Amino acid sequence: MPLRLLPMQEEDCETWMRVRAIAYRGPTNLIVHTSPLSEESFTKVAEERRKEFHKPEYYRLKVVDTDSGEIIACAQWSVYPHGKTEAGSKDDGKPPYTPPEVNLPALKALLGPLRGANIEIMGTRPYVMLNTLTTLPEHQRRGAASMLVQWGVDKADEMGVETYLDSSIIARPLYERFGFEVVKEVIFDRTQWGGEGLDYHFCMLRKPHNHQVADV
């Protein structure tokens, strides 16, 4: 079952959101979401992604199983050739849509320190950033994630800039194989939100170079 890396299309946005919802299942997701997303929420979130689709800094990619035609993995990379500028809202001035199933204070507690670390580490210098990468669980270890990561590091090497991302414990070995190194650790305490245990995230940085790794 060969895999193919392709640019994502606007019509793929809802599938992308569904792949993310499946791939992110786990104890932290149960805190950030009070319940599974409704069909209406999926539709509205996908519409938000479509509105942003042609922003020049975004590169959205998918991996397709060519036998079934199924999208099995997705990623979004951002390219900041002149450094990153933070925007407080969307281009139309309205805040982004938040599904009613989302525990917004918990989401801010999770993402706020990660965004702060990104700004602290990268400052205003140019870089390429992996915003999100998700693979359907039943298709893991087929090489899809490697294809998506390889695209980003190749782009960064072409530009001669660093590559930045934040990683879970599970994904960290994959990124290390591409030359990423941990520069900061961010911990989300699930017990403060009625859950159990800690969720570790690793802010990782890769210097530009020519480097190839085997598929995983």
In three-state form (DSSP H/G/I as H, E/B as E, the rest C), the secondary structure along 29-44 is: HHHHECCCCCHHHHHH
pLDDT of residue 216: 44
Token pair, residue 51, equals 């509105």
Q: What pTM does this model have?
A: 0.90
Amino acid at 54: H
Quote the CA–CA distance of 215 and 143 in Å, as a whole number.
5
pLDDT of residue 1: 64
pLDDT of residue 210: 67
pLDDT of residue 168: 95
Residues of the chain with pLDDT under 50: 87-90, 211-216
CB atoms within 10 A of CB 169: 10
Contact 27, 190 (CB under 8 A): yes
* Sheet with strand 58-65: strands edge to edge: 3-7, 58-65, 71-80, 127-135, 162-168, 198-206, 181-189
Residue showing tokens 């209406």? 40
Q: Exposure of 52 by Cβ count < 10 A (0-12 exposed, 13-18 middle, 19+ buried)?
A: middle
Q: 40-48 long-range CB contacts below 8 Å, 24 or more apart? A: 41/99, 41/100, 41/101, 42/14, 42/17, 42/18, 43/14, 44/97, 44/99, 45/17, 45/97, 45/99, 46/13, 46/14, 46/16, 46/17, 47/13, 47/97, 48/96, 48/97
